[in-house]
Amino acid sequence: MIMAQKVHTTTFILVALIVPLVCFYHQLVFPKPPVLISAVNVLSPPFPLPSFPQPNPNNAIIRPEEQIVEEEEKLSNPNNAIVKEEEDKQSNRNVIPTVSILLPAWEILVIISPGTPLPTDYDTGKYTCLFPNNDTTPAKPSGILPFPYRATFKCDLPERVRRRLPFPQPVLTKSTENPPERKTPVPELLRWNFLVYDSLSTENDVILFVKGVNNRQGVNRAPNEFRCVFSVGDDVFNGVRTAVTTSIQEVFRCRRPELSGVSSSDDKPIKISLEIPDQNLVVPSVAYYAPPRKVAPDQPESLLCACTMVYNAAKFLKEWVVYHSEIGIEKFVLYDNGSDDNLERVVAELVEQGYNVTTLFWLWPKTQEAGFSHCAVNAKDSCTWMAYIDVDEFVYSPSWINLSNPSDEMLKSLLPKKSSHGIGGTVGQVMINCYEFGPSNQKSHPVNGVTQGYNCRRKEENRHKSIVLLDAIEESLLNVIHHFQLKDGYKVKKVDLQGAVVNHYKFQAWSEFKAKFRRRVSAYVVDWMQAMNLESKDRTPGLGYAPVEPQAWSEKFCEVYDNRLKDLMRRWFGVESQSGYRMAWQI
């Protein structure tokens, strides 16, 4: 009995000692931010999290008492002051001013602040994300954001840091041996699901792309609930506000401000955000104002272009570009969703061969609709019609089957004549139905291309894809499943299956298809690995929510053997060589 009492007493003493130590450790590693009072709060997403105004991640914050102690040390020992000054300089050289965003799957996007020169060793240097508790993760180059140009890195949020809110922003550094001085309060990671992530200026207005406000498809808050805020840095309190004119999906249009009321004496970039006055908050932002972009005078306008969002599509791109270029598409606009498969090298090769291919770095996850809206505005001065098709989709007409050569007038023949006015208005959008092809017994990516390897499809046609007159798109830029809302006075033309069809090589060999489990591109479609909406048409029949190959996958979705486009492309693009039969995009 006495022994038991001693054990209980000892245990109690140990617990009493450990708990304060743990609390002290957490307070030291993750200092609690001071309570700030502001007329306008820049808040984190509207879900249960500690919320406080976002400090500017690029500003060093020194408490007055620390500054006093520092001055006293300099006066009492000048030599120590010199040594400390040198250490501070070295520490500052190791720090790169950044702002960081928490993406899905515990991934962090680190954006170097505007005006910071691109590191000379951006592609080759060893960079690190350093967290307040001294945990580190490797930082890998992720691409260059345009307007203004900003280099980006990606790193993972360490396991230990995930255990306590708020999640702190890391410091981007090249040296962990001489870590930079930790500033307090440590800024909180911006959250991807509540963020102004991009902007685009026109001659008449400014367009913001915003996550976390209109969260449900078809349910949009009224424009008068918001205002756009133009500010120097994060000084939203003194920013210039303008009215929001449309609020649809992730796209918000607002009036242009008088820039003289925003610009600073040292030409700092103007940040743009979205204010919700009724809630007294401003959505955090990494978007900046840039003047409207104009097409070079010597660049002719293309009648027909194609726009698509790509991720690791390098192996498919040449086949898609070569084919569609020969049948009438003059320019290809790729929104690169963070590819790491040497896509830029393939694009460079195509450009060198004379194809008009441009790439815009668009790494924002689950933003297909917003990306298409951006493309519709961004390409309006250089393209008249835009085909919204993916790199695994090929447009053709059964009427071409017996033609010996392609023509650049083939796709254009599907468009209305310039003077075409009929009942219901002018044609502003051409819709073409799709056939969905299955794996066709392929075990890996067909070396001759998707059109040559996949030849068995479902019997019934599926959703359509569209070719859109950019001038006909409604001001809100609303789009769903590759088609847009049109202005009054414009109508849709639906092409029958004999006129044209899209071969969609959707269900490819499992080694290719399983890559889709990374993430769906649409903002309003549930990701593959979420156990939700299992009966939705956006799901694959017979496939669950885990990247596990179903039994007999290679034989699925095979109801009709269809070799029409395969044979046509062999005739148009097949080449006999000493090494055997090859397609033009393999040379």
Section 555-559 average pLDDT? 95
Q: pLDDT by residue (tens digit) across 171-217?
A: 999 877 777 777 788 999 999 999 999 999 999 999 999 999 998 88
Section 44-60 average pLDDT? 34
Q: Can you tell me the distance from the alpha carbon of 542 to that of 563, in angstroms, rounded to the nearest whole number?
A: 26
pLDDT greater at residue 523 or residue 272? 272
pLDDT classification of 243: cutoffs 50, 70, 90: very high
pLDDT greater at residue 60 or residue 403? 403
Section 310-329 average pLDDT? 97
Mean pLDDT of the chain: 83
CB-based burial, 491-507: b 16+ in 10 Å, e otherwise? ebbebeeebbbbbbbbb
Q: Can you tell me the distance from the alpha carbon of 448 to that of 580, in angstroms, rounded to the nearest whole number?
A: 12
Do residues 100 and 109 touch, judged by C-beta distance below 8 A?
yes
pLDDT (0 to 100) of residue 522? 65
pLDDT classification of 2: cutoffs 50, 70, 90: very low
Q: Can you tell me the distance from the alpha carbon of 230 to that of 567, in angstroms, rounded to the nearest whole number?
A: 56
Our CA angle for 56, 291, 480, nearest 5°, is: 85
pLDDT classification of 538: cutoffs 50, 70, 90: low
Section 105-130 average pLDDT? 93
Residue 396 has pLDDT above 60, yes or no: yes
pLDDT classification of 587: cutoffs 50, 70, 90: confident
CATH, domain range 195-288: 2.60.40
What backbone phi and psi angles, to 5 degrees, belong to 375?
Answer: -65, -40
pLDDT (0 to 100) of residue 576? 86
CA 531, distance to chain mean position in Å, is 23
pLDDT greater at residue 412 or residue 8? 412
Section 45-62 average pLDDT? 33
pLDDT classification of 16: cutoffs 50, 70, 90: low
Which residues, at least 6 apart from 517, have a Cβ–Cβ distance to it below 8 Å? 528, 529, 547
pLDDT (0 to 100) of residue 535? 53
Which of 393, 379, 537 has the alpha carbon at shortest distance from 466? 393
Q: What is the per-residue DSSP string for 7-39?
A: HHHHHHHHHHHHHHHHHHHHHHHSPPPPP---S
Do residues 501 and 397 touch, judged by C-beta distance below 8 A?
yes
Domain residue extents for the chain: 51-191, 195-288, 302-586
Section 151-179 average pLDDT? 92
Q: Which amino acid is at 506?
A: K
Residue 546 has pLDDT above 80, yes or no: no
Section 469-489 average pLDDT? 94
Q: Which of 49-53, 243-247, 522-526 has the highest mean pLDDT?
A: 243-247
Q: Can you tell me the distance from the alpha carbon of 4 to that of 7, in angstroms, rounded to the nearest whole number?
A: 5
Least confident of 5-19, 132-146, 435-449, 450-464: 5-19
Section 447-456 average pLDDT? 96
Q: 273 is written with which tokens?
A: 């955000």
To which residue do tokens 């699901």 refer? 193
Least confident of 158-167, 173-182, 366-375: 173-182
What backbone phi and psi angles, to 5 degrees, belong to 231?
Answer: -140, 160
Taking residue 433's Cβ as centre, other Cβ atoms within 10 Å add up to: 19
Which of 388, 367, 376 has the alpha carbon at shortest distance from 474? 376
pLDDT greater at residue 76 or residue 294? 294
Within 13 A of 496's CA, how many CA atoms are on the CB side? 2
Q: Which amino acid is at 415?
A: L
pLDDT (0 to 100) of residue 40? 46
Section 465-470 average pLDDT? 97
pLDDT (0 to 100) of residue 94? 61
Which of 254, 500, 207 has the alpha carbon at shortest distance from 375? 207
pLDDT (0 to 100) of residue 39? 41
Residue 526 has pLDDT above 50, yes or no: yes
Section 70-94 average pLDDT? 49
CB-based burial, 227-264: b 16+ in 10 Å, e otherwise? bbbbbbebebeebbbbebbbbbbbbbbbebbeeeebee
pLDDT (0 to 100) of residue 10? 52
Least confident of 79-88, 139-148, 414-423: 79-88
Specify which residues 490 forms β-bridges with: 426
CA terminus-to-terminus distance, the chain = 87
Q: Decide yes or no: CATH 1.20.120 for domain 302-586.
A: no
Share of the chain above pLDDT 70, in %: 78
